Structures are given as structure tokens and as C-alpha cells.
Amino acid sequence: MKENWPKLIFVTLVLSFFTFTFYLYTSTNFIYTKEYNRPIAQRGELIWQKYNCQSCHQMYGLGGYLGPDLTNIISAKGRSEAYVLALVQTGNTQMPSYNLTEDEKKELIEFLKSTDASGVSDPRSFKINLSGMITKNGK
Ligand code: HEC
């Protein structure tokens, strides 16, 4: 009987692996439903790079620290696409103003929507799910 222990542990681990894998691939809890247009968002990332927003702002916590992290600016409380565009257009005492074309505005917003759809960057609202995915307040 004693010699069966290793086998039992092995079988338990294999079964656990398959059960958890099945759960992860079939559960709908971990699907992000926020939508964005990928090709436009990709062009928007080039706008983000062209105007060097990263020198003052962070994405996923990385970048310059003069301005706030903009990963989730689109869904942040009290913020909106119109708010972002207005601020980028006019600037303020610390933030420079940018004269973007209509296309550039659209692409930049789409890029910010894509980072927003990809997860959460603010550690204060992190919740790490059973699956290891990081979501906002467990949603
Ligand atoms: C010279 C540094 C600098 C650069 C470059 C810069 N910003 Fe900013 N930005 C700031 C600062 C500082 C603030 C905070 C202003 C405040 O709170 O009054 C800010 C605020 C913002 C906000 C509002 C954030 C919030 O939570 O209210 C947005 C949106 C924004 N910037 C977008 C951009 C974009 C897009 C670019 C690139 C086109 C950019 N910024 C480039 C310094 C910069």
C-alpha cells in the first residue's frame, strides 16, 4: 500500500491541472468586454510616441512621473474622451497643449481605449483573481 503514494499524488496533481485548465478556458468571468478598433489603436500608439506623452505620463505604471498614469484614463471616474481631448488641445500650467488633427485625435483616443481594455494599472484598485488575472475591484 505504501508504494502507491507517489502514484496517488501524481494522479491528484494531473487531475487538478486539467480541472483548473478546463475552468480557466470555459469560464466567462475573465473576458474583457471593452471594445476598441485595433488598427486605429495601433496608429494611436504612434501618436503617443510621436508627441512623447510617455516622458511625463505612465502606461502600466512606467514612464515619466510629472503627470498621472493614463492607462485607465478613459474609464476613470469623472474623466471621458471629451475631457482627454479638451485637455490635450488646451493644456494647462503643467501640461503642454497639442494641436492634433482630427485623425490624430481619433487614433490617440482609440489607443487609450485599448490600454483601458487591457486591464488595470492602479495598484489601489487591483484584485488578483483565482486565475491570476488582474482586474478592477474583482470585476
Ligand atoms: C511636459 C510633460 C507632459 C507631456 C509631454 C504630456 N503631459 Fe499630459 N499632463 C501633464 C501633467 C503635469 C498633467 C497633470 C495636470 C494637472 O493635474 O493639472 C497632465 C495631465 C494629462 C491628462 C489628464 C489626466 C487626469 O487624470 O486628469 C491627460 C488626459 C493628459 N495629460 C494627456 C496627455 C497626452 C495624450 C499627451 C501626449 C500627446 C500628454 N499628456 C503629454 C504633463 C504632460
Give the pLDDT confidence of 30-84 residue by residue, as tens digits.
Answer: 666 788 999 999 999 999 999 999 999 999 999 999 999 999 999 888 999 999 9
| In the chain, domain spans | 1-139
Whether the CB-CB separation of 53 and 98 falls below 8 Å is answered with: no
Query: Residue 28's pLDDT band (boundaries 50, 70, 90)?
Result: confident
Q: How far apart, in Å, do the first and last CA atoms of the chain sit?
A: 47
pLDDT of residue 129: 78
Query: Residue 137's pLDDT band (boundaries 50, 70, 90)?
Result: low
Query: Does residue 98 have its Cβ closer than 6 Å to ligand 1?
Result: yes
Whether the CB-CB separation of 79 and 67 falls below 8 Å is answered with: no
- For residue 59, list its beta bridge partners: 62
Residue range 22-32: average pLDDT?
A: 79
| Distance of CA 127 from the midpoint of ligand 1 (Å) | 27
Specify the CATH superfamily of domain 1-139: Cytochrome c-like domain (1.10.760.10)
Residue range 80-96: average pLDDT?
A: 95
Query: Does residue 52 have its Cβ closer than 6 Å to ligand 1?
Result: yes
Return d(Cα 81, Cα 113) in angstroms, integer: 9
User: Locate cell 481605449: which residue?
Assistant: 113
Average pLDDT, the chain: 90
| Distance of CA 32 from the midpoint of ligand 1 (Å) | 26
Query: Atom 40, ligand 1: which residue's CA is nearest?
Result: 53
DSSP-derived secondary structure for 37-71: -HHHHHHHHHHHHHTTGGGT-EETTEE-SSS-B-T
pTM of the model: 0.79
